[in-house]
Structure 1
Amino acid sequence: MDQRFHEPRHVLYVAWAFAPHQGPGVYRPLATVAELVRAGHRVTVLTADLDTFDLIIGGDRTLLDDVADSVRVVRVAMDPLERDPLLNRWPNARIRRPKRWAARVRDDQTQSFPELVYSTWQPRAEAAAARIHEVDPIDLVIATGNPYVDYTVPLRLSVDYGIPFVLDDRDSWLLNVYTGEPAPLADQTLPWLEFALSRALRMWFVNEPIAQWHRERFPQYADRIAVVENGWDPRFLDIDQIHRDRRPGSRLVYTYVGTVSSTFPLRLLAEAWRIARHRSAELSDAELRVVGSFGHGGHLTAEQTAIADEYARDGLILTGRTPKHQITQVYAEADVLVFLKEGSAMVTSGKVYEYVATGLPIVSMLDAQHDARRILDGYPRWHDARDYSERALSAAMLEALDDMAQGERHFAAAAEYGARRSREAHLRPALADVFAALRP
């Protein structure tokens, strides 16, 4: 291959939700930037300001430690508008007529770009990117969504300066991947996406069902659409420590790790756990830990609070989010992992890769077409509920108990299966393909 394809490039990486954003979507950007640095490229990240994460969305400052010193991070302020928690900054119109004010804000937000909440970042981000290019010419832009306002930056730079770009879509700009229905504002989004695909070097999706849907919808651009799966992050997950910290003979712990949204089947999980405890004396003092953020705001709903209270005597513990740098300890304290995820064929989940990397028994309850089954299939310690019910899930929990009782002899084979599914293993060939496609 021409050596010029391997020359260091200046890459602008656009991710509104970059560190210290604490949502699950931050880890793919962190890993992509790290891979670009590892490959010898100069990287500038364009992201939101720190106040947005510290005061508005929720942030984890420890994630900043995972950004290499060589990476230049440009932070562009984001107007919080409806999300602003500081009352003394609220305009008089909001205080006097909050509903009318909110309706006007939502109308204004989609005038220039079809996305609520984030679209106001567009002019500031585009201006910052243009200035970056003036000072230090950009060779390639990679932008990740959502939010999809990130995509306006490479489009602007492509139109104004001819800079090639890659769009990394972690879900789908057009579809609700959980339901298969059109996403909000899909009609307005369609021309934007079609224009973006007409100029993009590549567009990445996280699984084949989503990618194939887009290939069929845009056959003229099918050769630009690629799958770049998620994976587990060795920088956060220490498999040796998980194995080393096993605690035979202590109280048994079943653990769910992941976001607990308003649609997460928490009551079904809690009831299945209660049934399993009643059916096995070995689980009489066991715990079921639910570890993860509660929705986007980090707070339990009234129904979730009621469930937590009702099943507390059954050993149900809702711990909330654990900082990513402490996630190894969460898995090290678990004897069995429980995996539940909403959605179907277009949903994989980033957590399932982390689960299979641990080597622990995994209990699951998923839609029959759920894409996470593809990752779990072949994992030697997978115990799947035979149908979507409390009884079936409790039976799978007891099967996993038998698995665990056989000792650690399955651990090595299970961990070896998961080791092949690291995030780097998926990112490296995808990035090599992009740089090979760049014109010399």
Structure 2
Amino acid sequence: MTERRPRLLYLAFYFPPSRASGVYRPRATANRLTELGWDVTVFAAPLPFLYNAIGSVDEKLMETIDPRITLVRPDLNRFVWQTNLRDYSKFRATFPQMAQSLYTWGQKHVFPEHYASWARASVRRALRMHARRKFDVVLATGNPFASFGAAWLFHKLTRTPYIIDYRDSWTLDQFGEQPRYDDGHPAWRWERRVLNGAANSLYVNEAQLSWHAERYPKAAGRMMTVLNGWDVDTLPATAEPPPAARAEAGEHEPRFSFVGTITDQQPIEEMVEGFTRAREHSDMSAACLDLYGYFGFFRGSDRALRKRFAAADPADAPEGAATEGAGGDDEEPVFAPGVRYRGPVSKTELVDVYRDSDVLVFLNGGGRYVTSGKIFEYMAAARPIVSVHSPGSAAEELLRDYPLWFNPGSLDPADIAVSMVAAAKAAAGLDERQVAAARAYADRFERTVALEPLVRRLSELAGRRRAVSG
């Protein structure tokens, strides 16, 4: 008789085909556990929400999900996302004020998040599945943090141990570096509840862990740091020198690339001005900065961000440069001389972008609590990396020993320009040995390595659970 596989319930609202920034960690974790012989069931967002409510999908990501994973999509009450009267329920259409009052009461007294209905539906669905075949352990990732509440309630009803994974912080404003809510807000009560009941809680960097440990000392001994990482299925096994190093002298224009989602937290203007100044250098006059990714995470969030790019260097913008509303999905608008928007690229196709880039620009918002998962991918590409972020970013701890890091040390455009020129010069002189050294450093952050502490802990919990249940 073969031994029963350990069974995981994974509460991961943002899961492919979602393109939210936090989707890659759950994607990789579910695939890795399945590869190791786990029976994995993922509860994720309903597709109508991803396609119709927020319009945020990357359909090619679905092709990267192990087919052995069971994918369930519990219902979500899309009350706050309904803008068309035809979508209203009969009760809401007849009694709109009463419906709003009931919804607001639930946010204050039941669970303080718009995804609470998904959590309740998840618990109901999980209980039915658990009755037929028991789950050994639950892993919940946030945001949304209703997944934490669902894990806590499922534990209360079944005694199944759970781990919560803070991809983002719930009560900490990671960019403003201060509490997100006033004292007395129900989020504080719920966070204390789920942390005290959790077998472990995971954080993406030490600063994030320390902040939570200070506020929740009873749970501090069960807190773990589990770094993000890069995924071997989307990058080649080895890296080669950049195009500038493979070209004959004077025959290649330095190519800078930014890859990722552009948000309102990032120092856009400083990056554009720094690049513009760098192009004043004799070897950089034809340099280009290509931007790959989305403007914002949700439908309609791109307008203000495009405007910021267009206004970043108005004095030097060429005739026809992008302005508010310019640049459709099929265009490549120019925001400033040499700065081009290339549009989104699926994670499954990023290997070509990295291969064709000479220098990668790490544009990042936030400070000591924000690492950004993209930096691991950047290092694995083995390219010179120029930092454009506030000093003290959590990513600096990772980049400090990366051999091709160019750190301006500030957001002064003059300093950024100096680093960009130096990075372009370094790219032109890279040989295979230097590229291999950069990749060797990045290998310690390959996803299977980064996830090992979590895999060990899940295995311990599942083993204990199965031993008790016989």
> TM-score normalised to the size of structure 2?
0.85
| 1:240 aligned counterpart, secondary structure | coil
- 1:102 CA displacement: 10
Distance 1:40 1:380, change over 3 A: same
The answer to whether the 8 Å contact 1:266/1:304 transfers is no
The answer to whether the 8 Å contact 1:262/1:301 transfers is no
| 1:12 aligned counterpart, secondary structure | strand
The answer to whether the 8 Å contact 1:276/1:394 transfers is yes
Alignment of 1:77-156 (within 5 A): 77-84=75-82, 88-90=86-88, 104=101, 107-108=104-105, 110-156=107-153
Identify the residue that residue 176 of structure 2 maps to in structure 1: 179
| 1:418 aligned counterpart, secondary structure | helix
Structure 2: 5+ residue stretches without partners: 318-333
Identify the residue that residue 231 of structure 2 maps to in structure 1: 233
CA distance in 2, matches of 1:424, 1:101: 50
CA RMSD of aligned residues (A): 2.7
| 1:318 aligned counterpart, secondary structure | strand
| 2:201 aligned counterpart, secondary structure | strand
The one-letter amino acid paired with 2:26 is P
The answer to whether the 8 Å contact 2:242/2:428 transfers is no
Identify the residue that residue 427 of structure 1 maps to in structure 2: 451
The answer to whether the 8 Å contact 2:113/2:145 transfers is no
The answer to whether the 8 Å contact 1:341/1:366 transfers is yes
Identify the residue that residue 17 of structure 2 maps to in structure 1: 20
CA distance in 2, matches of 1:429, 1:303: 38
Q: For residues 360-402 of structure 1, what are the alpha-carbon distances to aligned partners after superposition, in whole Å with 9 as ceiling and x for unaligned? A: 0111133222110011011111111132211111111011012
- 1:336 CA displacement: 0.4
CA distance in 1, matches of 2:455, 2:357: 35
Q: Alignment partner for residue 357 of structure 1, among 368, 380, 400?
A: 380
Distance 1:7 1:369, change over 3 A: farther
Count of matched residue positions in the alignment of Structure 1 and Structure 2:
434
> TM-score normalised to the size of structure 1?
0.91
- 1:116 CA displacement: 3.3
Q: For residues 149-193 of structure 1, what are the alpha-carbon distances to aligned partners after superposition, in whole Å with 9 as ceiling and x for unaligned? A: 111221121111111111111121221112221124773112212
- 1:209 CA displacement: 0.8
Identify the residue that residue 326 of structure 2 maps to in structure 1: none
- 1:359 CA displacement: 0.7
| 2:302 aligned counterpart, secondary structure | coil
The answer to whether the 8 Å contact 1:141/1:154 transfers is yes
Q: Alignment partner for residue 165 of structure 2, among 165, 168, 191?
A: 168
The one-letter amino acid paired with 1:27 is Y
- 1:408 CA displacement: 2.7
Structure 1: 5+ residue stretches without partners: none
The answer to whether the 8 Å contact 1:242/1:328 transfers is no
Confirm whether residue 44 of structure 1 aligns to residue 41 of structure 2. Answer: yes
Runs of 4+ in 1 over 4 A off after TM superposition: 90-98, 100-106, 241-247
Which is richer in helix?
A: 1
Q: Alignment partner for residue 51 of structure 2, among 42, 50, 54?
A: 54
The answer to whether the 8 Å contact 1:15/1:144 transfers is yes
Alignment of 1:262-277 (within 5 A): 262-277=264-279
Identify the residue that residue 331 of structure 1 maps to in structure 2: 354
The answer to whether the 8 Å contact 1:122/1:152 transfers is yes
Alignment of 1:203-218 (within 5 A): 203-218=201-216
Q: For residues 267-323 of structure 1, what are the alpha-carbon distances to aligned partners after superposition, in whole Å with 9 as ceiling and x for unaligned? A: 211111111111x23322221112222122254233633533744351111233211
The answer to whether the 8 Å contact 2:261/2:294 transfers is yes
| 1:283 aligned counterpart, secondary structure | coil
